[in-house]
Structure 1
Amino acid sequence: MTTLPEVPDEDLLRLDLQICFSLNAASRAFGGVYRTVLKDLGLTYPQYLVMLVLWEHGTLPVKQIGEYLRLDSGTLSPLLKRLEAADLVRRERSPEDERSVTVTPTEAGTALRAEALQVPRRIMAATGLPLEDVRALRTLLDRVTAALDAAV
């Protein structure tokens, strides 16, 4: 295994050795595939992520959705407004704490889940990877994310 100190200085700034570039390129490629796959559902990728969280957990405070998705409220609020305008979610102030807003999938939002079931299979097929490789990649990315979070 090659460690960073063993990499010659002249190679350190090569684009093909930058993990951030590979991750960004993969993210952009995923974005293109998701745009195509989600078009029929009328969702953007960030909206799809919000719906995934709500389908899995049900009604949640905006703050908790943001924690699951690693998004701040400034990014999340416009997403939720568009989902509400599309009648996929309902936002309500909590009666216990008016500062807290809860989000609930509407009947249409809940029904959309059945259509969304094909999305993960189509994305998996597009990767060209077997399930065990996807799981291993996810594990590695989770480890990288945790290490980077700890480094900040």
Structure 2
Amino acid sequence: MRKTIREIGSVAIERVYAGWEETVREVAVNASEGDGLQVSIDGQYDSPGFTSSNCKVTTIDCHTKLAISGVALSKKEDGIDGMSIRMESEGALRALVDLVNHNIPIKKLVSDQNAMVMKKLREHPKTAHIERKLDWWHVQKHMRKEWWKVRVESE
């Protein structure tokens, strides 16, 4: 049974996935009206901390809210060398390079404050041109502390 699933099922799943991926990318590019996409990217690990074995990085078009790219990684892969902390930056790079290679114009990237991701994208020639912004959640966390401090001092 497993052999059948591997030989037949996985081929069919890949074909369906590739078709849907192409469709959602086309919808996102058409919705951008030639301005380039603003995308949000983040990684999700299979467990908290530095013991994760797998990571999934998802790229979402901010306008249409469609997932236009997904990358699954294992810490056993080349370039990660068994260190789970490297999975998100490697996945983000792979996802964006794939989009650029498919001639999908990326104007802005919204992400969390992961310095490894930003450094890797800034240094790669295919992703260096993309403007990078922080998401509101990570910006407001610091601002909230400052606002609270001012409020307490004013009382």
Q: TM-score, normalised by structure 1?
A: 0.25
The structure with the largest strand share of the pair is: 2
The structure with the largest helix share of the pair is: 1
